[in-house]
């Protein structure tokens, strides 16, 4: 029996089986009315970010100028089309993430990464504060080759900034996006639907240099 607060990622042999059918959602962003489903405008870019509980993380990005649309979901694991309950067991390997579709002529990836770094503590491994488990780990999943150098640069710069303040090393997982699975409808734009809902975002107080 796997613990609810698992701190180890499953292997393909131990991961939950999942399903072939995606979770059905309306596809309409509750805040701006745009579609959360591809295809997106060709000139826009996509980055997938995980910084703990995805409720507050999504609000952070949908409020940023230049962000076209956001959606929450699961990525980085083994189980196809997982449910929220399955993800919380630790047996899918997925992190809670936000898909961010943005207009690069209005906001650059470095600015999105600065918001990402400053909104959470990327040194905590498989947790964010009191939220403990592999699903809460810090992750960045890139969607094209040009994004990786920018991500690596920002990680190195923020890691140095944290160390100068006597904090630990960045543990953020960085990888190309394999698959993004939409979370259930009630999770989408959760804090717009439930303004008094839980938001676990808490940064370190260390500013992220953007160069």
CA distance linking residue 103 with residue 105, whole number of Å: 5
Q: pLDDT at position 184, please? A: 98
Q: Which residue is catalytic, options 53, 88, 199, 208?
A: 53
**Positions in the chain whose pLDDT score sits under 50:** 1-4
Packed helices 147-164 and 109-118: angle between N→C axes, nearest 10 degrees:
30
Secondary structure (H, E, C), the chain: CCCCCCCCCCCCCCCCCCCCCCCCCCCECCCCCCECCCCCCCCCEEEEEEECCHHHHHHHHHCCCCEEEEEEEEECCCCCCCCHHHHHCCCCCCEEEEEEEECCCCCCHHHHHHHHHHCCCCCCCCEECCEECHHHCEEEEECCCCHHHHHHHHHHHHHHHHHHCCCCCCCCEEEECCCEEECCHHHCCHHHHCCCCCCCCCCCCCCCCCC
CA distance linking residue 72 with residue 97, whole number of Å: 6
Start-to-end Cα distance in the chain: 47
Q: pLDDT at position 210, please? A: 77
Give percent of the chain with pLDDT exceeding 70. 97
Is-catalytic flag, 199?
A: no
CA distance linking residue 65 with residue 61, whole number of Å: 9
Q: Domain 45-193: state its class.
A: alpha beta
Q: Compute how many other C-beta atoms are within 10 angstroms of the C-beta atom of residue 18.
A: 17
Q: pLDDT at position 102, please? A: 98
For the stretch 42-66, pLDDT in tens is 999 999 999 999 999 999 999 999 9
Q: pLDDT at position 5, please? A: 54
Domain ranges of the chain: 45-193
């Amino acid at each position: 029996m796997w613990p609810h607060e698992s701190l180890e990622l499953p292997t393909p042999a131990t991961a939950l089986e999942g399903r072939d059918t995606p979770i059905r959602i309306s596809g309409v962003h509750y805040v701006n009315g745009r579609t959360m489903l591809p295809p997106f405008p060709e000139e826009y870019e996509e980055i997938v970010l995980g910084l703990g509980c995805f409720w507050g993380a999504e609000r952070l990005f949908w409020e940023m100028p230049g962000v076209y649309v956001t959606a929450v979901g699961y990525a980085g694991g083994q189980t196809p089309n997982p449910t929220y309950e399955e993800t919380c067991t630790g047996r899918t390997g997925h992190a809670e993430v936000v898909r961010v579709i943005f207009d690069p002529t209005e906001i650059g990836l470095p600015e999105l990464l600065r918001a990402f770094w400053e909104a959470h503590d990327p040194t905590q491994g498989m947790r964010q504060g009191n939220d403990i488990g592999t699903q809460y780990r810090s992750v960045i999943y890139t969607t094209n080759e040009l994004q990786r150098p920018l991500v690596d640069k920002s990680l190195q710069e923020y890691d140095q900034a944290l160390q100068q303040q006597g904090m630990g090393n960045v543990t953020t997982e960085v990888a190309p996006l394999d698959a993004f699975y939409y979370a259930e409808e009630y999770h989408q734009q959760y804090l717009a639907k439930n303004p008094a809902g839980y938001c676990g975002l808490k940064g370190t107080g260390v500013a992220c240099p953007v160069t």
